[in-house]
Amino acid sequence: MTQRKFTSYEEFWPYYVAMHSRAATRWIHLTGTLTGLALSTYGLMSGRRRFLAALPVIGYGTAWPAHFLIEGNNPATFGHPAWSLRGDARMIRMMLAGRDRELAETAAAWLAEHS
């Protein structure tokens, strides 16, 4: 699926979720982001600067292969980096709130409409 043009984040959001249509991709994102965040926080609190790179390295290092290997698409970050970061945070908040099913439904609806 090619990268698309969007005029607002709200228009981008369903597309972003659709690029994470499989639960495994979403859970890999969540795991990588939270692990990277924990290690970066540790680095900040302990003064061990090398750990500050954990968030982008582990976050993207787990998320991007999930797109290629599980979804068969390119990460939305490649075409929309700021909105993708915002989308990742929103998606993770929803997952932590027990709303993964809602994400799956949003993805399915967008894909059905744009296939």
Query: pLDDT digits over 31-59, tens only?
Result: 999 999 999 999 999 999 999 999 999 99
Residue 9's pLDDT band (cuts 50, 70, 90): very high
Q: How far apart are CA 22 and CA 107, in angstroms?
A: 9
Residue 3's pLDDT is 60
Q: How far apart are CA 67 and CA 78, in angstroms?
A: 11
Sign of CA dihedral 99, 97, 17, 74: negative
Asked whether residue 115 carries a pLDDT value surpassing 90, the answer given is: no
Instruction: Report the number of secondary-structure helices (H) and strands (E) in the chain.
Output: 5, 0
